[in-house]
Structure 1
Amino acid sequence: MEKPGIITGGKYSDDRGNLFFNNDFNASEVKRIYYIENTDTEFVRGWTGHKIEQRWFSALQGSFTIRFVKIDNWETPSKDLEVLKFQLNSDNFNILHMPSGYASAIQANEKNSRLLVMADYFLGEIADDYRFSIDYFKI
């Protein structure tokens, strides 16, 4: 079973400015991209899960805390699942991979933060969106 993880990016700086890169990310599976701006740093967007779809996340501006749970039963998941916690910031071009079978909760850590999201299915291509209240799993 594939587990979530960070694909490490980098940054090169010289007198011309900065170049952010992620040479280890294979974008060949990506079919759709969008970005998220939460209303404020108190709001937590989630829990949204995908049995089939994968997601990749990268902070374009600011920073985010992203939590994942591996769903054991999509109809009535256990409320005591292990919560994995990741930090992303725009100081590098790290990309966080969420394999299929997980739900996510996303919180901006700074005002005006923007999170790039990439998905491996087009919008409406499959029915694979599962939502749980934000207090369903432990934050």
Structure 2
Amino acid sequence: MVQTIEIEGSIFSDNRGKIKFFNSFDMAQIVRFYEISPASPEIIRGWQGHKIEKKWFYCHSGAFVINIVNIAEENIALAELSAERFELNESMPIILEVPAGSASGFKAILPGSKLMVFSNFTLEESTKDDIRFPLETWNAEW
């Protein structure tokens, strides 16, 4: 099982509008972030793993299914590992913290969905730690 952490945010609304915030999210480890906007909800992006890099996922528009596999498990064949499924959507302010030693795959549920990804590695460091797996490596509920 992957030791993910769900960091809950809050929402405040008044006549001026709405604010989503994550006051308990410590961003000290983060060195870069990027946004992913899938062309279609039919597209599954995965599997991408990292032995050392840690990531955080936040859906600010639409909704996503994210599957995570613990690839750091020693003495277990890759085929025997199972994916853990999470759903993130814009109406629930949650950041999913994915530890090092994990592989992830994700898919938008709704058209126009956008996913923010935060990383504790520079792009150069991440590229050196990148491990790709074919989509059929693990069964996952998308």
Q: Do the structures match in fold with TM over 0.5?
A: yes
User: How far did residue 70 of structure 1 move?
Assistant: 0.3
TM-score in terms of structure 1 length: 0.92
Alignment of 1:71-82 (within 5 A): 71-72=71-72, 77-82=77-82
User: How far did residue 62 of structure 1 move?
Assistant: 0.4
User: How far did residue 24 of structure 1 move?
Assistant: 1.4
Choose between structure 1 and 2: higher helix proportion: 2
Per-residue CA distance 1:12-38 (angstroms, 9 max, x = gap): 000000010011111100001001111
Identity between Structure 1 and Structure 2 (%) = 36
Per-residue CA distance 1:42-74 (angstroms, 9 max, x = gap): 111000000000000000110100000001469
CA contact (8 A) 1:11 1:21 kept: yes
Equivalent residue letter for 1:16: R
CA contact (8 A) 1:71 1:103 kept: yes
Equivalent residue letter for 1:11: I
Residue in 2 aligned with 1:116?
116
Per-residue CA distance 1:58-111 (angstroms, 9 max, x = gap): 00110100000001469x952121211111111132100000000000110000
Q: CA separation of 1:73/1:131 partners in 2, compared to 1, >3 Å: closer, same or farther?
A: farther
CA contact (8 A) 2:56 2:117 kept: yes
CA RMSD of aligned residues (A): 1.9
Moved more, 44-53 or 79-88: 79-88
TM-score in terms of structure 2 length: 0.91
CA distance in structure 2 between the partners assigned to 1:61 and 1:123 by the alignment: 24
Q: Does the alignment pair 1:103 with 2:103?
A: yes
CA contact (8 A) 1:80 1:138 kept: no
Moved more, 78-87 or 96-105: 78-87
Ranges of 4+ aligned residues in structure 1 off by more than 6 Å? none
Residue in 2 aligned with 1:45?
45
Listed as ranges, the gaps of 5+ residues in structure 2 are: none
Q: CA separation of 1:77/1:119 partners in 2, compared to 1, >3 Å: closer, same or farther?
A: farther
